[in-house]
Amino acid sequence: MPPDTRDRIIAAAMDLFLRKGYGSTSISDVLQTAGINSGSLYRFFPSKQDVLLAVLGAYQDGIRELLLEPAWKNVADPVERIFALLACYRNAVVQTDCAYGCPIGILAMELHEPDPPVRKKLAGNFDAWVEAIVECLEAAGSRVPPGVDKRALAEFTLTTMEGGVMLARTWRNVVHFDRAVAQLRAYFDLILKPARTKRKHT
């Protein structure tokens, strides 16, 4: 079943905002990419900002199905799930010859003083990502010492990912992403207790 008009608009805007940026994307660009007329667009979205809000909503709604579940497939260990998620970003960096940028990170950097509704949606996307990492840390149980602030550690993980992607994109070299993740791994190894291994019965 082909996507409906609203979905086509959102998909077109997602692609354009990622490739060109929000400011450089015109309504005409969205219309042409989606293959629709202006009346069809304005029936759903009165303004360009409304299109942006819908795009950010779609990213947030799809985080589990489109990002987390594929990354976590066949990864049982909750701490390794964190690094499996980071590996997905690394794959995106490599597959695009280091041109990849996190869609939410790109928009957040461009829209540094957006209207409150946009800022709220951007924060909601980051919150959803951070909460996924907190979920992994909670699942790790006693491996996480009582004094560790799980939310702060999850935000540090997000910062590592966003910074690593930005540096790899700037230098066009994935080694910058790898170094950032390696430092995060070393920090995790320093503060977390190792996973228990099952004893073999003889």
- Taking only the tens place, the pLDDT of each residue in 130-188 is 999 999 999 999 999 999 999 999 999 999 999 999 999 999 999 999 999 999 999 99
End-to-end CA distance of the chain: 57
Q: Where residue 45 sits, what CATH number does that domain have?
A: 1.10.10.60
Q: Where residue 138 sits, what CATH number does that domain have?
A: 1.10.357.10
- Per residue in 64-107, pLDDT tens? 999 999 999 999 999 999 999 999 999 999 999 999 999 999 99
Q: Is residue 200 part of a domain?
A: no
Identify whether residues 69 and 38 lie together within a single domain.
no
Amino acid at site 47 = S
Identify whether residues 36 and 87 lie together within a single domain.
no
pLDDT above 60: residue 35 = yes
Contact 137, 153 (CB under 8 A): yes
List the domain range (segments joined by +) for residue 71.
63-191
